[in-house]
Amino acid sequence: MAKPTGFLEYTREGGAERPLPERIHDWQPIHLHLDTTRLHMQAARCMDCGIPFCHKGQLLNGMTSGCPLHNLIPEWNDLVYRGLWREAYERLSKTNNFPEFTGLVCPAPCEAACTLGITDPPVTIKNIEYAIIDKAFAEGWVIPDVPAQRTGKKVAVIGSGPAGLACADQLNRVGHNVTVFERADRIGGLLLYGIPNMKLDKALVRRRVDVLAAAGITFCANTEVGKDVTAVQLQQEFDAIVLCTGATRPRDTAVPGRDLHGIHFAVDFLHGNTQALLDIAEGDRLTVNGDRLAVNSQRVSISTAGKDVIVIGGGDTGTDCVATALRQGCRSLTQFEILPQPPLQRAADNPWPQWPRVYKLDYGQEEATAVFGADPRRFCVLTKRFVGDAQGNLQGVETVDVAWASNGDGRPHLQELPGTEKMWPTQLVLLAMGFLGPERELLTQLGVAQDERGNVGAGDGRFHTNVPGIFAAGDARRGQSLVVWAINEGRGAAQAVDRWLMGATDLPG
């Protein structure tokens, strides 16, 4: 273990972030590194406990506990403490294809399951993970993994998000010829267009894609399978197909007035903003008060500049909308959540090692609080109707407060509270209420069955669909989930594909 008394000697110190007054005026990454000495101290807090829950990814009470990738966390914590950074990178890479992504955007269920967290703040696993991979790139240890020989088998991966990239990486390592198809103009899927640059620098995504391309993976952007390339063509040309298209059907609302101008899906808002930033100057520093952002404001399809903005829905997507709207220059900002405000401490029915359902400010809400003086979230709020002017433009949202109570069946039920109706002025609403599953057109072309939730029918630990040679992974198979689960899924699907093509596999799941 790192240091037997480390957890007694050192307090938790998370990774620093750029000052709020500075970072809300640009699109640059908000995260900063701890220095090496302090990282050693944080790694020393890992106890290498007898049963390390941190690397056992499982669902407890419907929430992820521990790392779904089964990262060997105590081992690389010990190596970092001893200054053996290259060995730490090699150990981390055994289980995680993309630590730079999980180290930045994963909510860290590993930390929620850390044994130290029973009595003290848990180990800063996520920050140490990112420090390891960042040092590995800086030192030149991350090199293309070119296979010694090719199998002659051809695999098509549809979708270049974390599941697709992980699947392609694994299959390429064992010698299959892998082609990744992406309908967007750039490779990266959710990593590129679903997460803002300040949370995940797009230069990191390009850097990893370049490594994968150098290893022999072929990438085809601006290519929508089912339209630019037919399903029949793909089945004729490739020995196996893996569907990693994500859960891209956003949840809508049937609230009266939904057809007014000014109501948009969050995913369209985030995609358009990032695309505009990349179109202007990839890798350049984009500031709020400069000509380049003025150009950006003209290019984005959905702009919050000078508007009263309402975000409906919480979660990571809602937070990203809040942070993006701030940087675009909104006049006011409110976020509706239909659920109650979580408690400050774990409730009795939410024990360790479950994910802690507690109140916290994520980066977007923290920034909004600094700008407007209060948390933008309003809890237990139900949208009743959208109100517009004679020209069909959105002017306001009518809401009512709700309470959650049980009718004796053990399940909470929503109840509207009379007299709490309120009208909120707004010219722009962003719908961030989650996703319903994959788009259906391609699945229909391929003849792939769907389950009762609308996901690709390859559940129960299987990745093979009802169609021979067609597999599925990631959000398309399991529904909307975390990046770390997507990587896990991509690795699992690669294992299944390799076994189906070759009769056996040495790939880890």
Identity of the residue numbered 182: E
Report how far Cα 258 is from the mean position of its chain's Cα atoms: 27
* pTM, full prediction: 0.94
Three-state secondary structure call for residue 463: coil
pLDDT in tens, 371-423: 999 999 999 999 999 999 999 999 999 999 999 988 777 788 899 999 999 99
Domain shared by 276 and 416, yes or no: yes
Give the mean pLDDT of 222-232: 94
> In terms of residue numbers, what domain contains 424?
263-431
pLDDT in tens, 284-341: 444 433 334 443 445 678 999 999 999 999 889 999 999 999 999 999 999 999 999 9
Give the mean pLDDT of 248-260: 96
pLDDT, mean over the chain: 92
* CATH number where 237 lies: 3.50.50.60
Give the mean pLDDT of 457-467: 85
The answer to whether residues 41 and 10 touch, using CB atoms and an 8 Å cutoff, is yes
Residue 426 falls within a domain, yes or no?
yes
Residue 309 corresponds to which tokens in the numbers above? 């903005």
Question: 330-367 in b/e burial notation, b at 16+ Cβ within 10 A?
Answer: bebbbbbbbeeebeeeeeeebebbbbbeeeeebbbbbb
Give the mean pLDDT of 162-184: 98
pLDDT at 51: 83
Domain shared by 204 and 336, yes or no: no
pLDDT at 2: 66
pLDDT at 285: 44
Listed residue (118, 117, 173) closest to 150, CA to CA: 173
Domain shared by 214 and 291, yes or no: no
Residue 312 falls within a domain, yes or no?
yes
Residue 145 falls within a domain, yes or no?
no
Residue 393 falls within a domain, yes or no?
yes
Domain shared by 237 and 270, yes or no: no
- Angle, CA 109 vertex, CA 108 and CA 111 arms, to 5°: 70
Tally of domains in the chain: 3
* CATH number where 61 lies: 1.10.1060.10
| Residues 6 or more apart in contact with residue 11 via CB below 8 angstroms | 121
pLDDT at 458: 83
